[in-house]
Structure 1
Amino acid sequence: MEPGADLAGEAAEQACKETGSDFARLSKKIVAAGLMRRRPWYYTLRIGVITGLFAAGWVAFALVGDSWWTLVVAVFLAVVFGQVALVAHDVGHRQVFRLRKASVRAGKIAGNLAIGMGYGWWQDKHSRHHANPNHEELDPDVIPDILVWTQGQARAAKGLPRFIGRSQAFLFFPLLTLEGFNLHVAGVRALANRSLKQRTSEGILLFTHFALYLGALFVVLPPGKAIAFLAVHQCLFGLYLGSIFAPNHKGMPTLSGNDRPDFLRRQVLTSRNVRGGWFTDIALGGLNYQIEHHLFPNMPSPQLREAQPIVRQHCEELGISYLETSLITSYSQALRSLHDAGAPIRESAATKADVETETETKADVKVDA
């Protein structure tokens, strides 16, 4: 598990080498349009602005001090943490720096130190997702953990996934409030994995974040307000992150076994774009162009909008379904898919209840007799 190893980009490059393939022809159009060029000034400005907002948030936290108004600062910092995570995402795909060492260094600063997310753990997980999106055995994002993503997973579910699965569509957004905590826990747990390279530096930066974060909260605020700040900040951070990633693949077709289409179809058919203007681009970090991002993970995010018409036309020429919806519709489709996935659990519970009722009725009749 090597931080900075962009398996997604390597998979795209390998697909490009398949001369004459549908993706290779698309790639030539994208390169000819100059859309794979670096954007150093864009990222200098973006990182500078986010760094300034990050610093301003903590200065505001110190100035507001022992007041319930500090919860407003918690909301602000939740959004800023989400934006830092999006920068770490772009760094991980080597959109910002060409060299791996620079990407790893920046990724660990943004991930481990700034927001308490294990960069090496996330990079490995996210790259495997990119290589096989929505594949039940190969994509870690659709392996059942707390939620089930298909009816097959629901039938095999036990324990917590089975308990939550029957109502998971209604619980999805509430559960996203725990995602920030999950990132911290997963990052710490990954440090025990010997395959994680640079474990020492990752661990030092990760625990430095925790020490500075918790230290600031409990030095500036009394315990009650510190815990309230932590809860509001981390829960909204998790909700924001989850809301960014939920529209991208949830509710799209899933793959299993040897069902692996070619690279172009594998990425397009399992991804969904979200319509919107500049505000959507900023809020979702360019991931609203999920199809283009999955096809060209190394493409700087501001160029994804320009790539979209080229990719859409190419897909239309090949008869490949290209889905783009509003943000609300994308959430609706994701929730509907979760509800459908949990159907076998609900049906099983209903059948069990019917059997119990029938048994009780027979017992009552026997007693009366």
Structure 2
Amino acid sequence: MSTALIQQKSASNKPIFKKADDDRFSKTLAQRVDHYFKETGKSKKGGWEVTFKSTFLLMLFGVLYGLLLSNWFNPWGTFLIGLLLGLSHGLIVFNIAHDASHNALFKSHHLNRILSYTFNLVGSNLYLWNLSHNKTHHSFPNIADFDPDIHQQAPLIRMSPTEPYRWYNKFQHLYATLLYLIFSIFLVYVKGLKEFFPSSKSKRWLGIDQPPFREYVILFFTKLIYFTYTLLIPIMVLDVTWQQFILGYLGIHFILSLFLISVLIPVHLVDESEFGTVNLEGHVVDTWTIHIFKNTIDFARKSKLANFLFGGLNTHIVHHIFPNICHVHYIALSEIVKQTAEEFQVKYHEESMWGAIVSHYRLLKRMGSEKGSNHDLNPN
């Protein structure tokens, strides 16, 4: 095991990022973003754009569900409606639940709180999302033992240089896509339930010993609602055979999984990411802002369609630095971020969507070799 890996594994407390005496880059970036909103007179929240989008997506969800249960279509038509309904789950997560959980959708904290429960509507869980994503991932992205997002695929897929190497990881760039097909099934049926009964490692990631009793009640109540409307009612109502239902249900999850994966994974887990290390004293070698730039990539940055569909998650650097700003501003803000980074000679990673996906598979191939275990780890 490398020195860097030993240092990473031995750090038991939360990492401490380097504090520059005069972090002009971060200050300048914040000032320029504030100036943008003062100059344009826009709110940092969503305004009418997200009011329209949120209303449209929730109505689309309701209409598609009604059409699914109508039995107006043959089995292939029913599958197509079910597929669109499944994809609407992803759109709701990207565009409503995610921003609402960051209190970025509307000025009203109460309204954001209500809409953030759309996570539960589509089979996820707001409480665990706030812990694993907002609190942990956003604080320590790509830092082993502290960012659960780089460990949840292990041991079948090795994403991080600090994950133990196993012989079958050599082939992971070949079989990973097959595992990605069940990503949404894993999120709904495994991840959420497993983290409500945390192991010692996940307790460290989430920062809790056990969720409050209230959250167990919410978990099981909302899971019951989810399974009732996605499984029980369709099985009882749809005029299809049970074989057709199972094949359709799995097919919808397969395509939804690829949709989610193609947006969520390439923003951090790409070949350009350096992965943070923690020394024996618990310190990270970079400032928090520099660490974000080293471990985050933007793709399709200028695309209005990508911003609309993905809730701005494709402009991920802006999101990590300013998570409380609504995604409708991300295209404009990403230009400010890029220009400021170039001015301060900070590397800005940008790719096409396809380029980011290809870079992810390059990472998989590199992490699938023992030689890759020490790549880009800095023990200093």
Q: TM-score, normalised by structure 1?
A: 0.81
**Paired AA for residue 262 in structure 2:** S
- Is the CA contact 2:276–2:291 (under 8 Å) kept in the aligned structure 1? no
Counterpart of 2:81?
73
1:249 to 257, 268, 287: 268
- The answer to whether the aligner puts 1:226 opposite 2:235 as a matched pair is no
**Paired AA for residue 96 in structure 1:** L
Counterpart of 2:203?
none
- The answer to whether the aligner puts 1:106 opposite 2:115 as a matched pair is yes
Stretches of structure 1 that go unaligned for 5 or more consecutive residues are: 1-13, 348-369
- Structure-1 separation of matches of 2:325 and 2:105: 9
- Structure-1 separation of matches of 2:84 and 2:155: 30
| CA drift at 1:152 | 4.2
- Structure-2 separation of matches of 1:19 and 1:205: 48
- Is the CA contact 1:93–1:298 (under 8 Å) kept in the aligned structure 2? yes
1:26 to 25, 29, 37: 29
Counterpart of 1:120?
127
More relative contact order, 1 or 2 (CA 8 Å, 6+ apart):
2
**Paired AA for residue 29 in structure 1:** R
- Is the CA contact 2:46–2:106 (under 8 Å) kept in the aligned structure 1? no
- Structure-2 separation of matches of 1:332 and 1:36: 36
1:320 to 333, 341, 346: 346
| CA drift at 1:106 | 1.9
- Is the CA contact 1:116–1:184 (under 8 Å) kept in the aligned structure 2? yes
Per-residue displacement from partner, 1:253-276 (whole Å, max 9, x unpaired)? Answer: 111223341121011111111125
Q: How does 1:260-299 map to 2 (within 5 A)?
A: 260-275=285-300, 276-299=302-325
**Paired AA for residue 132 in structure 2:** K
- Structure-2 separation of matches of 1:167 and 1:26: 42
Per-residue displacement from partner, 1:323-348 (whole Å, max 9, x unpaired)? Answer: 1111111111110011010112999x
- Change in CA separation of 1:346 and 1:102 when aligned onto 2, cut-off 3 Å: closer
**Paired AA for residue 266 in structure 2:** P
- Is the CA contact 1:191–1:203 (under 8 Å) kept in the aligned structure 2? no
- Structure-1 separation of matches of 2:156 and 2:50: 36
2:211 to 177, 183, 195: 195
Stretches of structure 2 that go unaligned for 5 or more consecutive residues are: 1-16, 199-209, 374-380
- Is the CA contact 2:366–2:372 (under 8 Å) kept in the aligned structure 1? no
Counterpart of 2:9?
none
Q: How does 1:201-220 map to 2 (within 5 A)?
A: 201-220=218-237
**Paired AA for residue 321 in structure 1:** K
Structure index of larger Rg: 1
| CA drift at 1:154 | 4.1
| CA drift at 1:66 | 6.1
Counterpart of 1:336?
362
**Paired AA for residue 256 in structure 1:** T
- Structure-2 separation of matches of 1:137 and 1:225: 42
- Structure-2 separation of matches of 1:19 and 1:299: 25
Counterpart of 1:137?
145
- Change in CA separation of 1:97 and 1:253 when aligned onto 2, cut-off 3 Å: same
- Change in CA separation of 1:15 and 1:306 when aligned onto 2, cut-off 3 Å: farther
- Structure-1 separation of matches of 2:156 and 2:114: 32
**Paired AA for residue 292 in structure 2:** Q
- The answer to whether the aligner puts 1:173 opposite 2:177 as a matched pair is yes
Per-residue displacement from partner, 1:93-141 (whole Å, max 9, x unpaired)? Answer: 1111445544333222x1112x111121122111211111111221111
**Paired AA for residue 181 in structure 2:** T
- Structure-1 separation of matches of 2:305 and 2:235: 35
- The answer to whether the aligner puts 1:236 opposite 2:262 as a matched pair is no
Counterpart of 1:365?
none
Secondary structure of the residue aligned to 2:267 is helix
- Change in CA separation of 1:126 and 1:38 when aligned onto 2, cut-off 3 Å: same
More helix by share: 1
The Cα RMSD (Å) is 2.6
- Is the CA contact 1:274–1:288 (under 8 Å) kept in the aligned structure 2? yes
- Structure-2 separation of matches of 1:346 and 1:130: 25
| CA drift at 1:302 | 0.9
- Is the CA contact 1:148–1:338 (under 8 Å) kept in the aligned structure 2? yes
| CA drift at 1:175 | 1.5
Equivalent residue pairs, number: 325
Counterpart of 1:53?
60
- Change in CA separation of 1:204 and 1:15 when aligned onto 2, cut-off 3 Å: farther
- Structure-2 separation of matches of 1:346 and 1:30: 38
**Paired AA for residue 268 in structure 1:** F
Aligned-residue identity in percent:
19
- Structure-2 separation of matches of 1:112 and 1:217: 19
- Structure-1 separation of matches of 2:342 and 2:264: 26
Per-residue displacement from partner, 1:225-252 (whole Å, max 9, x unpaired)? Answer: 2212211122221111111112201121
Q: Which moved more, 1:239-248 or 1:169-178?
A: 169-178
Counterpart of 1:94?
103
- Change in CA separation of 1:120 and 1:146 when aligned onto 2, cut-off 3 Å: farther
- Is the CA contact 1:66–1:220 (under 8 Å) kept in the aligned structure 2? no
